[in-house]
């Protein structure tokens, strides 16, 4: 059996409210032995930590750029205190999800940037890697990282240029690929997934968001009553198959490389995973 790490999945999301444990068990049965669960704002910090502990998964703590409108300096202070309190928790693997979003209209740019920098400072203080959200914002996030270098991490749902990819790699980051790469029309992203150095690539679902092509229904079809399939970590092996196909390599080989890369990006993972693999193989 091939084993996978879903390096980015929001398993605390309301979409999983009805069958959360069954969803996680189904992913495990599909070979997804480990999930990294990023936080989005103060309201879910305890939830992601609780789930990671309950399931042997890992978590990150942070404030997502899309949640910055409601976030203040008091939230940064609370985040700093919680990171400090959880500093020795082996399940805490990163600060995240943090970053910038210049795609969603109405977000306050300077406010987002201030909160990103405050969180990069926290990551530096604790020597933790970061999980980055870089939608239409690669250059601005790179600028912040150059000013406040951190211990690497993952640029998740990466969809930048090859030059931006190289810049993240040079700063010690891996790039996360998920459902978006399964769409045949995503030519630019598919080429990047095919040509990127193998050591730079990690796999993710971003569940319940970013459904892969086989779960996706267009807006027209949804209006006509078709139901959007719910994305979950159980989709990761099929996403890996798609990436392996693009690279012309065996799925096993790709999965092993992605596993190694995730461990390199998040140095606390290997300690947690040893137990997982033994349990999965037993």
Three-state SS across 204-251?
CCCCCCCCCHHHCCCHHHHHCCCCCCCCCHHHHHHHHHHHHHHHCCCH
* Minimum CB–partner distance for residue 281 and Zn ion (Å): 30
Give whichever of 65 and 244 is closer to Zn ion, judged by the CB atom.
65
Q: Which has the closest alpha carbon to 242: 158, 182, 198?
A: 182
DSSP class of residue 184 equals T
* Minimum CB–partner distance for residue 97 and Zn ion (Å): 5
183 class by beta-carbon count within 10 Å (0-12 exposed, 13-18 middle, 19+ buried): middle
Give whichever of 157 and 200 is closer to Zn ion, judged by the CB atom.
157
Neighbour count for residue 179 (Cβ, 10 Å): 26
Q: How many residues are present in the chain?
A: 282
* Minimum CB–partner distance for residue 58 and Zn ion (Å): 14
Give whichever of 210 and 258 is closer to Zn ion, judged by the CB atom.
210
Site for Zn ion in 95-124 (CB under 5 A): 97
* Minimum CB–partner distance for residue 10 and Zn ion (Å): 6
Tell me the two tokens of residue 270. 């290997």
DSSP class of residue 246 equals H
32 phi, psi to nearest 5 deg: -85, 85
> 42-81 mask for Zn ion (x: CB under 5 A)?
----------------------------------------
Give whichever of 57 and 97 is closer to Zn ion, judged by the CB atom.
97
* Minimum CB–partner distance for residue 133 and Zn ion (Å): 6
Place of tokens 């309301």: 14
Helix, strand, or coil here: 98? strand
* Minimum CB–partner distance for residue 5 and Zn ion (Å): 15
Give the integer Cα–Cα distance in Å for 72 and 90.
28
Give whichever of 44 and 261 is closer to Zn ion, judged by the CB atom.
44
How many residues interact with Zn ion (rule CB under 5 A)? 1
Give the integer Cα–Cα distance in Å for 105 and 51.
32
Give whichever of 97 and 101 is closer to Zn ion, judged by the CB atom.
97
Q: Which has the closest alpha carbon to 56: 36, 80, 81?
A: 36
Site for Zn ion in 79-98 (CB under 5 A): 97
Given the rule CB under 5 A, which residues bind Zn ion?
97
């Amino acid at each position: 059996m091939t084993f996978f790490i879903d390096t980015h999945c929001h398993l605390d999301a309301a979409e999983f409210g009805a069958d959360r444990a069954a969803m996680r068990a189904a992913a495990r049965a599909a070979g997804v032995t480990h999930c990294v669960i990023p936080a989005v704002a103060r309201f879910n910090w305890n939830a992601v930590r609780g789930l990671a502990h309950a399931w042997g998964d890992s978590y990150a703590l942070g404030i997502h750029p899309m949640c910055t409108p409601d976030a203040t300096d008091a939230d940064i202070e609370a985040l700093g205190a919680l990171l400090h309190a959880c500093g020795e928790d082996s399940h805490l693997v990163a600060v995240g999800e943090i970053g910038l979003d210049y795609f969603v209209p109405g977000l306050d740019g300077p406010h987002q940037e201030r909160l990103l920098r405050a969180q990069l400072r926290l990551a530096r203080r604790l020597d933790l890697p970061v999980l980055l959200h870089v939608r239409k914002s690669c250059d601005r996030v790179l600028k912040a990282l150059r000013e406040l270098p951190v211990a690497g991490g993952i640029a998740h749902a990466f969809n930048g240029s090859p030059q931006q990819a190289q810049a993240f790699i040079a700063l010690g980051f891996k790039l996360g690929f998920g459902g978006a790469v399964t769409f045949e029309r995503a030519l630019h992203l598919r080429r990047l997934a095919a040509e990127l150095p193998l050591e730079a690539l990690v796999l993710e679902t971003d569940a319940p968001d970013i459904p892969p092509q086989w779960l996706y229904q267009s807006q027209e079809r949804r209006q006509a009553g078709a139901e959007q399939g719910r994305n979950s970590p159980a989709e990761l092996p099929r996403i890996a198959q798609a990436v392996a196909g693009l690279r012309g390599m065996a799925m096993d080989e790709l999965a092993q490389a992605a596993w190694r890369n995730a461990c390199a990006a998040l140095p606390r993972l290997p300690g947690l995973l040893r137990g997982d693999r033994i349990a999965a193989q037993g």
